[in-house]
Amino acid sequence: MAMARVATAALMVAAAVLLGLAGAGHAQLQNGFYKGKCGANDVEAVVQGIVRARFARDAPIVAYLLRMQFHECAVNGCDGGLLIDGPGTEKTASPNLSVKGYDLIADIKAELERRCPGVVSCSDIQILATRDAVVLAGGQPYAVRTGRRDRRQSRASDVVLPAPDSTAAQTVAYFGKLGLSAFDAVLLLGAHTVGATHCGVIKDSRLYRYGGRAGATDPALDPYYAFVYKTWVCPNAAASDGNVVFLDDQWSALRVDSNYYKQLQRRRGVLPCDQNLYGDGSTRWIVDLLANSDLFPSLFPQALIKLGEVNVLTGAQGEIRKVCSKFN
């Protein structure tokens, strides 16, 4: 009976998420928007080929692109604003200084401009490239609607993103402002299945100054993991600040899978914002559901689709940039 209730709950959640998706997004976005618009070229196949070649030599590109999509779409929508170079742009804001993958977007744009100038937007390239990287990293294939246009605005002052130590309530509230649910929020943090951070981000908050107390370690962190981090990965010295810390088990850190949620159940979430999802009853049940079922592979793409359709420009709005890093 208990298993039946879990299965029923899972199906209800899946249906709710998918129904929520059906009403989301901008009506002018379309599947196959570029079909027939680039001569004999298949725009999505061109993007996929370039992403595949990059992934073959640089598998962490999936993490870079997932992070880029969130930092892009969470600020004024999925409009290419993060790609703009120059003083005072989104790219220069503190949370964005460590965003990577711009060169891949530029390479894709250059190839598409060569084949069909002025047709494919930079914002669509970001969404397509992320989708293709997720699939290459073991994620489930999914279709995305295209037809976005690029905004002629990019301001560092607009960049407000969740902090690494956000509570579950703060995380859910942030995503709520984007029109996304608590379930979407927990799904999207699942992108950390391929993520990484640095020791400098967690040494004070979790290992050596928890709660502002010298020598204190976060009691929510598994004691064995805390010992490993403090002994070998993030010793209490400035020289370790740049050391890489995977947000999932290292063996799973290049795979899009549900292991991230299993880590939270074991109190092995690295960032406070991750572990806080399991410390709060309002989101713990979602973590348990995703950790103990096979729902994540199918639901994670749906959340990415919803994120990718936040506040997009379409039709005659904005522009199609010639170069992604500057306005026309």
- The number of C-alpha atoms within 13 Å of 303 and in the hemisphere containing its C-beta is 26
- Hey, what are 57's tokens? 């030599």
Give me the phi and psi of 257, to 5 degrees please. -150, 180
Please report where in the chains the tokens 């047709």 appear, as a residue.
Answer: 119
- 235 annotated as a binding-site residue: no
CB 282 within 8 A of CB 172: yes
- 90 annotated as a binding-site residue: yes
198 is catalytic: no
- End-to-end, the C-alpha distance of the chain in Å comes to 62
- 162 annotated as a binding-site residue: yes
- 249 annotated as a binding-site residue: yes
CB 248 within 8 A of CB 274: no
Single out the catalytic residue among 71, 145, 151, 306. Answer: 71
> Which residues sit opposite 326 in a β-bridge?
323
- 79 annotated as a binding-site residue: yes
- 192 annotated as a binding-site residue: yes
CA–CA separation, 11 and 19 (whole Å): 12
3-state helix vs strand vs coil in the chain, percent to 5: 55, 5, 40
- 75 annotated as a binding-site residue: yes
**293: DSSP letter:** S
Please report where in the chains the tokens 């059906």 appear, as a residue.
Answer: 22
- 294 annotated as a binding-site residue: no
Active site residues: 71
Binding residues are 75, 77, 79, 90, 162, 192-193, 249, 257
Binding residues for Ca(2+) are 75, 77, 79, 90, 193, 249, 257
Binding residues for heme b are 192
